[in-house]
Chain A
Amino acid sequence: AQSVSQHNHHVILSEAASLELGCNYSYGGTVNLFWYVQYPGQHLQLLLKYFSGDPLVKGIKGFEAEFIKSKFSFNLRKPSVQWSDTAEYFCAVNIRNTDKLIFGTGTRLQVFP
């Protein structure tokens, strides 16, 4: 069965530190890849997505992610985090043409001033 693994369950950083959250998926075929963010008390919002083309994708609020097909990975990065980035981050994949999203268990990010 397809699955998504997020290896960092809880990350604590100081403001201005760099961030990298890992995401790996298990499926050998063509997938679409997503990172969603859930700020405290808010709904899931799309940070960025990869459908095809340039494997380095840029999203909102300075986030970017790189799709490495050979490693089945889609890691999220931000060079300098802010206190307002405190949230839960979810990696998700869907198999092309199915629209069913498979989510990882999420990474809770806490940023301290």
Chain B
Amino acid sequence: DAGVTQSPTHLIKTRGQQVTLRCSPKSGHDTVSWYQQALGQGPQFIFQYYEEEERQRGNFPDRFSGHQFPNYSSELNVNALLLGDSALYLCASSLVSTEAFFGQGTRLTVV
């Protein structure tokens, strides 16, 4: 039973570019959440998708957007990248109101 898988594992982008990160949830899970973890910090909630709709959103600008597909996989898009967007991006999957399972993350470096 595959856990949460994320791709790519590492990514280097230039300021101003756009990036798409991908996540496949754990089998049987229908809810996907995205978190940003800066160096030395705890993960910060970006948003959550359920039934292909954004259900909740954290304090992140509109440059951060997402999508959930009918198979429950999800994408996180970040436009107009800033140096401060450099972080580990974590995807977590769950069933509604149960504990979240996390993927390995995508390490994004903006130069």
Pick from A45, A49, A99, A106: contact of B31, CB under 8 Å: A99
* B94 contacts chain A at the CB level, 8 A cutoff: yes
- Residues B99 and A34 in contact, CB atoms below 8 Å apart: yes
Query: Whole-angstrom distance between the alpha carbons of A73 and B43 in the complex?
Result: 20
Pick from A96, A97, A105: contact of B40, CB under 8 Å: A105
- Residues B42 and A99 in contact, CB atoms below 8 Å apart: no
Residues of chain B lying within 8 A (CB to CB) of residue A106? 40-42
A-B contact count (CB 8 A): 58
* A46 contacts chain B at the CB level, 8 A cutoff: yes
* B44 contacts chain A at the CB level, 8 A cutoff: yes
* A39 CB → nearest B CB, Å: 12
* A103 contacts chain B at the CB level, 8 A cutoff: yes
Q: Which residue of chain B lies nearest to A105 when distances are taken between CB atoms in the complex?
A: B42
* A19 contacts chain B at the CB level, 8 A cutoff: no
Number of chain A residues close to chain B: CB under 8 A: 22
Residues of chain A lying within 8 A (CB to CB) of residue B103? 43
- Residues A104 and B42 in contact, CB atoms below 8 Å apart: yes
* A46 CB → nearest B CB, Å: 5
Q: Could you say which interface size class chain B belongs to? A: 20 to 34
- Residues B33 and A101 in contact, CB atoms below 8 Å apart: yes
- Residues B41 and A99 in contact, CB atoms below 8 Å apart: no
- Residues B41 and A100 in contact, CB atoms below 8 Å apart: no
Which B residues between 12 and 46 are near A, CB-CB below 8 angstroms? 31, 33, 35, 40-45
- Residues B44 and A103 in contact, CB atoms below 8 Å apart: yes
* B74 contacts chain A at the CB level, 8 A cutoff: no
* A44 contacts chain B at the CB level, 8 A cutoff: yes
Which B residues between 61 and 106 are near A, CB-CB below 8 angstroms? 90, 92, 94, 96-97, 99-105
- Residues A103 and B43 in contact, CB atoms below 8 Å apart: yes
Which A residues between 3 and 28 are near B, CB-CB below 8 angstroms? 4
Contact with B along A89-113 (1 / 0, CB 8 A): 0101000111111111110000000
Given the known interface contacts A99-B33, A99-B48, A104-B42, the answer about A49 and B99 at a Cβ–Cβ threshold of 8 Å is: yes
- Residues A46 and B99 in contact, CB atoms below 8 Å apart: yes
* B74 CB → nearest A CB, Å: 14
Query: Whole-angstrom distance between the alpha carbons of A103 and B45 in the complex?
Result: 9
